[in-house]
Structure 1
Amino acid sequence: MESTARPTRSAWLLEHLRQALLDGIYPLGSRLNEVHLSQELNVSRTPVRAALQTLAGEGLLSYVPNRGFTVREVRLSEIVEAYEMRALAEGLAARLAAERGLPEDARRIIEHSLEDGDRVLAGAGDREAQRAAYARNNEIFHSAIIAAGGSTLVEDVVRLCQRIPQASAHNVVAFDLADVRERHRAHHRIYAAILDQDTSEAEALMRQHVLAVELSMIRSIAHRSDRR
């Protein structure tokens, strides 16, 4: 869970391309050419192909034999629906976690994610590295609460939502530092409610948090469209 480790070149490439796709750098439906990308990013074709295959598996790209990789087109309505489902499912997970109480290992994981998030967002370093570190941190926090909820149904619903990659807790679509800091403060409030075993507050805060992320995402996509 240590986020200070220096990423490998392959890990950097994967995250760089993931962030570019989430930010709409490559137009929807456009083809990503391995040769052009390797030249543009000054890396060999092998890690580029591996990264593209991973991103296709995550749903950010589509792959057609003999045609290669293209940027997957996802309707805004699908993304919104995925967030709405996530808000309901993760709100229930937070309620269940508060009701049942957190085991010690879950507390350690969540507290580490909160401390690590505080550190990652406190500085003003490289934006891409900061975003990648927070994406990992965000995924750890949400996954720990979902697991603590102990509901297989909730886990299945969240997994279904992740078929829309823009709605995944790992994929930070809109990385505005002030906005993300507020999102992280919400993590602290959610955790406090769970520790207090305030089931209604834990559920409400988690729902509000996921829907606030949805709103940030919609604003980012709208701003992106305005620039075109």
Structure 2
Amino acid sequence: MASRPFQKPPTQVEAVLLELRRALLEGDYPAGTRLNVDGISKTLGVSRAPVRDALRILEGEQQVIYEPHRGYCVPEMRLDDLFDLYRIRELLESEAAALAVPLLTPDDIAALRTSAEVVSRALAEGNRVTATYANRELHFRLFESPGHEQLVTSIRQAWNADAYRALYLRDLESAAASAREHDAIVDAAAEGDVSRVILLQNAHRDGELRSLLRMLTDRFPGAEDTATEQWRATTGVEAFAETA
């Protein structure tokens, strides 16, 4: 028998979890959607048990919430909560980058460049799921450093808690423009320029928020103007970060 790596097939829970993650990323379940365990189990051809187990995992990640007597649903988010989430990310991600960037190896930089290429290529092909995971891989490589696992866990929880995650790649043209900013971030990381990485990272994140707010105009009229005021109040700066 030919020697080859053995890949263990996923359990039913893992398979259901993978499909639910895909559905959440692609917007099949918008914010506020109730998740019917019976309906999901019938659609996927599995029993209720692995669906419930997968939903419990997603609940632990804050991607879904459980309400007594009503079941699981995709959480909605107030505008103030969204701003708080981005402020939390700015603080935690800046600290994480300051710790991680000086420790990056040539192999890490090569991996960052590969992830950036995968994001751009996937967006050009309209593959939102691949782009999303490659984007996460890129950014979290800039956050991870030995001995600071709890910091990274907190950042991951903040990413997962964003009720509007499915909207970020809806506009592929805007997403592709945002993805092109990755190259400058990686170049700064390769030079070990921590301050530049944080500056570019902040501008990249703020551009992401502006793009999201434009898509939420119907839900939150005047949201982008409100965001500028909120940022001024919480950070003391006049507007979103700039790359200059």
Query: Shorter-chain TM-score category?
Result: 0.7 to 0.9
Q: Secondary structure at the match of 1:69?
A: strand
- Give 1 or 2 for the bigger CA radius of gyration: 2
Deviates more, 1:138-147 or 1:70-79: 70-79
- Tell me if the contact between 2:89 and 2:155 (Cα under 8 Å) persists in the aligned partners: yes
Distance 1:44 1:222, change over 3 A: farther
Specify the alignment match of 2:217 in structure 1.
222
Which structure 2 segments of 5+ residues have no match? 1-9, 222-244
Give the deviation of 1:84 after TM superposition: 1.7
Letter in 2 for 1:187: H
Q: Does 1:74 align with 2:81?
A: no
Aligned to 2:194, which of 196, 199, 207? 199
Q: Look up the match of 1:158.
A: 155
* Per-residue deviation, 1:180: 1.3
**Which protein has greater RCO, CA pairs closer than 8 Å, 6+ apart?**
1
Aligned equivalents of 2:67 and 2:19: distance in 1? 25
Counterpart-to-counterpart distance in 1, 2:40 and 2:51 = 7
- Cα distance, 1:60–1:152 mapped onto 2, change above 3 Å: closer
**Which residue of the other structure, out of 91, 107, 110, is the alignment partner of 1:108?**
110
* Corresponding residue SS for 1:112: helix
Determine the structure 2 residue equivalent to 1:181: 176
* 1:78 and 1:164 in contact (8 A); partners too: no
Q: Deviations over 1:90-149 (max 9, x none)?
A: 234334445x2522342233122122223212224xxxxx11111111111111000159
State the 1:207 CA deviation.
0.6
Q: What does residue 133 of structure 1 align with?
A: 130
CA 164–221 in structure 1, closer or farther in 2 if over 3 Å, else same: same
Give the superposed CA RMSD.
3.2
**What percent identity do the matched residue pairs reach?**
27
2:174 and 2:109 map into 1 onto residues whose CA distance is: 25
2:36 matches 1:63: no
Q: 1:177 to 1:65 in 2, by over 3 A?
A: same
Structure 2 Cα separation of the partners of residues 224 and 60 of structure 1: 20
TM superposition score normalised by structure 1: 0.72
TM-score by length of 2: 0.68
How many residues align structurally?
A: 206
Larger helix share, 1 or 2: 1
